[in-house]
Amino acid sequence: MSKVLIPLADGCEELEAVTLIDLLRRAGITVTTASLSAQRQLTASRQVGLVADCLLDEVINNDFDMIVLPGGQPGTDNLNNDERIHLLVTQFQQAGKYIAAICAAPIVLADAGVLSGRHATSYPGALDPQKWSDISISNDAIVMDDFILTSKGPGTAMDFALLIIELLTDKTTRDEVEAGLVRS
């Protein structure tokens, strides 16, 4: 069973966070949400209250197969200003484990240095090509470059989550979860 860490920061984009958590759990993936702050309760970007499973410090040394960063503002800035997140992202990169970020959160990956020489996408304008000239910035909804996945924003969250499900389980599980969503 795959294990995914989703760090939650005050000001995160709730649609992205909840979509990722919900769909991955529907697929039977063990998802741990961890608050960056000293309390489990946080307020998302549109004043929606969220409660994390635990605090980041409680699970920072646990073994996960993937880390997924929701975007939103000021959530992305809060993730980016937390050196524990940069440390985790770097450790995942060194271990060859999956790293995923959506919306503005690819900024965190860029600042941590894991997008250098890679292809990525983000919320329009979040990744500045002048600041990060060593990143090939795409306008695609989802970009996968080796073990790093990036996606554009709230509108791409469902497809992003389904791709993660397929990577961590298989296409059959992805298709079963998608069928249950009645998207068409």
Q: Can you give the length of the chain in residues?
A: 184
SS3 for 40?
coil
Q: Which amino acid is at 97?
A: K
b/e per residue 159-170 (b: at least 16 CB within 10 A): bbbbbbbbbbbe
| List 34, 100, 103, 107, catalytic entry | 103
Which of 36, 17, 14, 35 has its CA nearest to residue 25? 17
Measured CA angle at 65 (ends 62, 66), to 5 deg: 100
Query: Could you confirm whether 12 is annotated as catalytic?
Result: no
Distance (Å, rounded) from C-alpha 22 to C-alpha 27?
9
Q: Are 89 and 109 in contact (CB under 8 A)?
A: yes
- Which residues face 34 on adjacent strands? 7, 54
Residues acting as catalytic residues: 103
